[in-house]
Chain A
Amino acid sequence: MDQFTLNLLFVGASFALYIGIAVWARAGSTSEFYAAGRGVHPVTNGMATAADWMSAASFISMAGLIAFTGYDNSSFLMGWTGGYVLLALLLAPYLRKFGKFTVSEFIGDRFYSKTARMVAVICLLVASITYVIGQMQGVGIAFGRFLEIDAFWGLLLGSCVVFAYAVFGGMKGVTYTQVAQYCVLIMAYTIPAVFISLQLTGTPIPAFGLFSETVDAEGVKSGVYLLTKLDQIVTDLGFASYTEAHKDNLNMVLFTLSLMIGTAGLPHVIMRFFTVPRVSDARWSAGWTLVFIALLYLTAPAVGAMARLNITDLMWPNGTNGEAVSVETIESDARYDWMATWQKTGLLDWEDKNGDGKIQYYNDKSDAMAERAAANGWEGNELTKFNRDILVLANPEIANLPGWVIGLVAAGGLAAALSTAAGLLLAISSAISHDLLKGQLTPNMSEKSELLAARISMAAAIVVAVILGLNPPGFAAQTVALAFGLAAASIFPALMMGIFSKRVNNVGAVSGMLAGLIFTLVYIFLHKGWFFIPDTNSFVDSADGALLGIQSTAIGAVGAAINFAVAYAVSMSTKDTPQDIQDLVESVRVPAGAGGAVDH
């Protein structure tokens, strides 16, 4: 059976499973549509939240970013897991006690203001839609690569599948579908990593393999640690060392903090904690979610480091001081087949610039390499293009693993992108139908027409995401950074102050959210271009060129600080919160008396 058929088989079988579950668990009432009737066990909920959370960015993109930068991109690992500590300690149990369906309902009630609720809805919509665009891009690339079709058709096919189970299943369908998706994606991520870790270090657990000695083909220990070897070969080729820090502390700290706060402020993750039966379960649920996320996140740095080692070995089969791989070998040797396959996507390319029949892969911007290049007649790096996002998908091929592993990774990558897209669409549809229509515009709406509105807005959101996904406002990572920055700067501070301070009032919360949101948006636009239109930026997006010396990806943390400061200052100079709101805060703080969710 050829690879194409295998991929099709794995992707097809996993889809049949998800759709089957969605149909089996079709939602009936609005309560079930949003929150699965609150009958979801913490472990199940944790698994589903993990699938919801781990998107194309975590599965497809993150290990590649770490592989080519090393230590500096540890921010992704700490940021996207550390946010769960904030969520578990500062938000989840109290929001569950509050017992409403959506995040903006809490903000509207706690700050006794329709304006506050509206501002929250706007923040949620902007953050969720920008995030879902990134997922749709991931869906398109993954479908395109593995089904060997154009990315455009991949995107359309993917959006139909997301639509089918998100619209017809609601949260309950999504919850159980996402449990299945978690299982598929975690297997797809860890199985190839285990194989590769065994090959390179003889250790079956990749997380341990990363810090182990390398072994030769017979499994004899070489006495050299994997990371030492990696540092050696990358610096031999003029690249920055893998384990050392090259980024300034300020940007690294703020970037990590932005990702953490953003994690705790993203509506589709917070919504998950409304679906557990009790307040204590909300606390446990955050822990279980992180257990399931950590399985991937502890493996990811190993995947990155090992892939970097494998790629360098393939390009320099005789060692970094020997002869580079020849063009003939790349074209004829089966171990290099993946290069030709990925070349077709335009994401990988090479060119024999000096015509010596070999492909020299090195850092041609390094001064130290200039001498060696001149001595050997090299005319620049000849592995001209290696898109970081292909690394995880190409990894099993690079390591020469069996065909079924490649098919499994295809299914896993799609599971990651699709599950997050579905969760985000649910957050979007509930924001529109529940908060905007029922809460503001047409309060007398029947349950049936609310459900219909939720489904229509979900469909509309998919259409918007597909259109923007066809012509994305930049790379997926930039789009995702905007979503995180916005969530961090707007939603999280409002939620936290709503619980931890009785003094912050309606005016304070609204001014805080607006200040945080606008500051972050404008700062990002100043560095990435207005509405991401190229060349409309005023500053270069690097630590040296940026307005405040802070990169736009790290600015969300500053936006959050501004939100806190403004909200507090404004509240102190305006009227105190009414007694019934102080009582509400008091009741949210204690678990006793938490019932089922109540609707308006």
Chain B
Amino acid sequence: MADQSPQTKTDQDGAGYWSANIRLIVISLIIWALVSFGFGILLRPMLAGVAVGGTDLGFWFAQQGSIIVFLLLIFFYAWRMNKIDKDFGVEE
């Protein structure tokens, strides 16, 4: 759902800021889906060889690992975005 409205300089700055944001969101959501739907469910058979405390890695991702990754993702995004805010001069 990309939108282009390149008219003024501020708009272009805004577009640069927004596309930086979108890029970060896409990367984060790929990781989000990979650990939960991927490692936790669909790719679990592939990870069956990796033993973790009496079961396999896929089980760990489904019950604990994905939650930990979700947490790291949100803090990573908040930290990166606050930096991007400053780089583009749009912070509060």
Contact = CB atoms under 8 A, between A and B. Distances in A.
Q: Do A and B bind each other?
A: yes
Interface of A: 71, 74, 77-78, 81-82, 84-85, 88-90, 93, 207, 210-212, 224-229, 231, 243, 245, 249, 252-253, 256-257, 278-280, 283-284, 286-287, 290-291, 294, 297-298, 301, 497, 500-503, 582, 586, 589-594
13 contacts: A78-B67, A82-B70, A84-B70, A85-B32, A88-B77, A89-B74, A224-B54, A227-B55, A294-B68, A298-B64, A501-B1, A586-B5, A591-B91
Contacts of B28: 85, 89
Which one of A207, A497, A590 has the greatest number of beta carbons of chain B within 10 Å?
Answer: A590
Contact of B63 (A77, A229, A284, A500): A77
Contacts of A290: 70-71, 74
A48 B3 CA distance: 36
Contact of A82 (B3, B32, B81): B32
B14 A590 contact: yes
Contacts of A249: 41-42
Contact of A280 (B11, B67, B82): B82
Contacts of B14: 586, 589-590
B70 A81 contact: yes
Nearest to A594: B92
Contacts of A593: 92
A78 B36 CA distance: 7
B59 A71 contact: yes
A93 to B, nearest CB: 8
Interface in B44-67: 44, 52-56, 59-60, 62-64, 66-67
Nearest to A293: B67
Contacts of A591: 85, 90-92
Nearest to B66: A78
Nearest to B13: A590
Question: What 7 A-B pairs are tightest by C-beta distance, nearest first?
Answer: A211-B53, A225-B54, A227-B54, A74-B62, A283-B78, A287-B74, A228-B54
Nearest to A87: B74
B25 A291 contact: no
B67 A297 contact: yes
Nearest to A294: B67
B83 to A, nearest CB: 10
B74 A286 contact: yes
Given A84-B74, A287-B74, A297-B67, A590 B17 contact: yes
Given A84-B74, A284-B78, A89 B29 contact: yes
Contacts of B78: 88, 280, 283-284, 286-287
Contacts of B41: 245, 249, 252-253, 256
B85 A207 contact: no
A78 B41 CA distance: 10
B81 A90 contact: no
Contacts of A90: 25
Given A280-B81, A590-B14, A591-B92, 8 more contacts: A71-B63, A78-B40, A211-B54, A227-B59, A252-B41, A280-B91, A301-B63, A592-B89
